[in-house]
């Protein structure tokens, strides 16, 4: 039965709607129901390397119709965070989607006296980047990272893994913008003029999606089609409001 007190929806992507770029059972029906409900919604990802247009194309290839303005990424949240900070210069380790978001808020991407070192994800990661980032952080640049994930699909190194050697060299940890930080949840909700107390986050990972929603004061729904399984719930001191086998069984919207 639909919960009429839910006024907006934030939904994770991988493990909830897609697995290896294929739709999970019930994903097409759930996306169509969201689109037709009139409830504001966002599809949220911790990965910063795809633009909303890239994500629209990814979904289209999986047979799911989602417009680009319904996606929100950790790159977008990072730009939202940095826009509120002093300084407009950053040395960036990341792909074009991240630098594009920084350009959009008036940042200069440079390795000359930057205010920030911003780490996202890139396959071009190398020794020179590690050395330069560490040197700039030791010289006073603030250390920001898009997300704490250590590995992505198929065990590919993610942002947290790229940050690790820089942390070891400098002795400084970055501010992680993405889940489980409540910052990304609040930034996403702000982008659709929604409020945490009447919003829900749907995700497959207790340690990222559900923790972020809990810390942001949102209602939470865990699906068991991805990272966290039923028997693992006892390992966490917080609980989701609802647990579903998969997104196709969600009847709240």
Q: Hey, which residues are catalytic here?
A: 12, 14
Pair 40, 77: CB distance under 8 Å: no
Question: How far from 232 is each of 57, 153, 225, CA to CA, in Å?
Answer: 34, 21, 13
Q: What is the DSSP letter of 176?
A: E
Alpha-carbon distance of 86 to 20, in angstroms, equals: 39
> 156: Cβ–Cβ under 8 A, 6 or more apart, which residues?
none
Residue with tokens 């040197």: 135
- The CA-CA-CA angle for residues 148, 222, 213, to 5°, reads 55
Pair 17, 24: CB distance under 8 Å: yes
Q: Which helix (H) or strand (E) covers residue 78, if one does? A: helix 74-83
In sequence order, the β-bridge partners of residue 222 are 203, 243
Q: Which helix (H) or strand (E) covers residue 11, if one does? A: strand 8-12
Alpha-carbon distance of 7 to 140, in angstroms, equals: 43
In sequence order, the β-bridge partners of residue 201 are 10, 220
Using DSSP, state whether 18 is helix, strand or coil.
strand
């Amino acid at each position: 039965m639909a919960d009429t007190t839910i006024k907006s929806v934030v939904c994770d992507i991988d493990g909830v709607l897609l697995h290896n770029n294929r739709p999970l059972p019930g994903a097409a029906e759930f996306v169509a129901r969201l689109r037709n409900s009139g409830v504001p919604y966002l599809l949220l990802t911790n990965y910063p390397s795809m633009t909303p247009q890239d994500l629209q194309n990814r979904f289209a290839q999986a047979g799911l119709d989602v417009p680009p303005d319904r996606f929100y990424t950790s790159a977008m949240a990072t730009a939202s965070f940095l826009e509120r900070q002093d300084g407009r210069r950053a040395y960036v380790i990341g792909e074009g989607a991240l630098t594009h978001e920084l350009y959009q808020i008036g940042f200069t991407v440079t390795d000359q006296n930057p205010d920030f070192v911003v780490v996202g994800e890139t396959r071009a990661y190398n020794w020179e980047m590690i050395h330069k980032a560490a040197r700039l952080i030791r010289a006073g640049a603030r250390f920001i990272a898009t997300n704490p994930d250590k590995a992505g699909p198929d065990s590919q190194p993610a942002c947290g893994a790229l940050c690790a050697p820089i942390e070891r060299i400098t002795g400084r940890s970055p501010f992680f913008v993405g889940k489980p930080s409540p910052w990304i949840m609040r930034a996403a909700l702000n982008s659709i003029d929604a409020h945490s107390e009447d919003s829900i986050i749907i995700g497959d990972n207790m340690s990222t999606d559900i923790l972020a929603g809990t810390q942001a004061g949102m209602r939470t729904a865990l699906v068991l089609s991805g990272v966290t399984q039923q028997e693992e719930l006892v390992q966490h001191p917080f609980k989701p409001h609802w647990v579903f086998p998969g997104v196709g069984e969600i009847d709240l919207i």
